[in-house]
Structure 1
Amino acid sequence: MNAAYLTPAITLFNEDGTLDLASQERLFNNLIDQGVDGILVEGSSSEFFAMPMNQRREMAKFAIEKIDHRVKLIIGTSHMVADEIISFSNFCLDAGADAVMILPPYYFHFGPSALLQYYDRLAEQIHGDIYIYNFPDNTGYTIPPETVLALAKMHPNIVGMKDTVPGMDHTRELIKVVKSQIPQFEIYSGFDDNFAHNVLSGGNGCIGALSNVVPEICAAWVRAFRENDLAGIARGQQTIDHLMDLYAIRSPFLPVIKEACRLRGIAATSAGTFPMPSATVEDDARILELLNREGVQ
Structure 2
Amino acid sequence: MEIIVCIKQVPDTTEVKIDPEKGTLMREGVPSIVNPFDKNAVEAALQLRDEKGGKVTVITMGPPQAVDALRECLAMGADEAVLLSDRAFASSDTWATSYTLAMAIEKIGNYDLILCGKQAIDGDTAQVGPGIAEHIGLPQVTYVQKIRETNDDGLVVERAIEGGYEVLTVGLPAMIAVEKSINEPRFPTMMGTMKAHKKEVPTWGAAEIEADEDKLGMNGSPTRVKRIFAPERKSQGEMIEGDDENQVCTLLVEKLLDKKVI
TM over 0.5: no
- Kindly indicate which of the two structures has a greater share of residues assigned to strand: 2
Please report the TM-score for the alignment, with normalisation by the length of structure 2. 0.33
Higher relative contact order (CA 8 A, sep 6+): 2
Q: Which has the larger radius of gyration?
A: 2
Question: Which structure has more helix as a fraction of its residues?
Answer: 1
